[in-house]
Amino acid sequence: MDNLPTFPDNVNQIMSLINKPDSSIHNITELVGRDISLSANILKLANSASFSQRTKVENLEGAIKVIGLSELNNILLSLGTKKILEDRYKEFELIWERSSLSAFICRRLGERMGWKKQTITVLVCAALLHDVGRVILLSLEPDMSEKISEILGNRLLPSPLTLEEAALGISHTTLGGMICEKWNFSDTIRVAAEMHHRPLLVKKEFQDAVFSIYLSDMIIDISRDLSDYFLIQSAVLQHFGFKKETELDEFMKKTLQEYKELEKNS
């Protein structure tokens, strides 16, 4: 943890400006525009399936107006994390791709439940960042992490966290929580990183986020024949109103197909 760099200064400056009540879209756009790479990445992520804008945004100021400052704040959190990890940890891209799909599924779950845009915005960010601890564990201990994945195979065995703790001394969820705390992420994002494998242990205020990310992970695993419907916690299924396997299967197929099409066109 001591070797982990601080959150990027330029991202912190922009987020600080966003949170000032007298800030204007023009001032924020001007500050963001000083970093060409960041500007390009904001446009790319804003138009990605994860953030799923109904209207394609073509320029930076237009992007900020369309997505809103709250959404921009969460995009910056995601991009700041990506900037730190992608150059230092070789396994980042693989985890980011899965997390992007998780974020899209979470967005659709939130829309299914009729949650407010602000709630869904935070949820998408939490989903993008929930496996940040796994990135570092996979990169630092690739051989051991691969063996753990092989042992877990079809996910019919006990929690991967137990094996990680026994083999590596720490689980990716504990490490993820520590990283979120170091970078002063919100409690929702931190708890999601810590508890997405143990959804029934979270406080009620975090259930929407943690249940969503847990279910999105299970949906991804089921779609890849790594898990099964009967392994999903019944309380989570009830939370989202899935009463039958066929209902979840219909949601899963529709959502994954939509993601595939959006990714192809983005």
End-to-end Cα distance, the chain: 35
Token pair for residue 240? Answer: 């989202």
Residues whose CB falls within 8 Å of the CB of residue 95, separated by 6 or more in sequence, listed in order: 131, 134, 135, 138
Last residue of a domain, which of 41, 66, 88? Answer: 88
Secondary structure (3-state) at 147: helix
The number of domains in the chain is: 2
Q: Which residue has the tokens 């929690």?
A: 159
Q: Is 219 in the same domain as 139? A: yes
Both 128 and 232 in one domain: the answer is yes
User: Along the 266 residues of the chain, how does pLDDT read in single tens digits?
Assistant: 566 667 888 899 999 999 998 989 899 999 999 988 888 888 888 778 877 666 677 788 877 887 788 888 888 999 889 888 887 777 788 788 999 999 999 999 999 999 998 899 899 999 999 998 888 777 665 554 455 455 445 444 445 555 455 445 577 888 889 989 988 899 999 999 999 999 999 999 999 999 999 999 999 999 999 889 999 999 999 999 999 999 999 999 999 999 998 887 76
Predicted structure pTM score: 0.83
Instruction: Give the pLDDT score at 3.
Output: 64
Residues 32 and 152 in one domain: no
Q: Which of 39, 61, 88 is the last residue of a domain?
A: 88
Name the packing angle between helices 207-223 and 92-113 (round to 10°): 120
Q: Which residues contact 69 (CB under 8 A, 6 or more apart)?
A: 18, 25, 28
Question: Could you list the residue range(s) of the whole structural domain that residue 153 is in?
Answer: 90-266
Cα–Cα dist 161/159, whole Å: 5
Q: Which of 88, 122, 147 is the last residue of a domain?
A: 88
In this structure, the answer to whether residues 148 and 30 fall within a common structural domain is no
Residues 209 and 230 in one domain: yes
The phi and psi torsions of 201 (rounded to 5 degrees) equal -95, 0
- Are 42 and 146 in the same domain? no
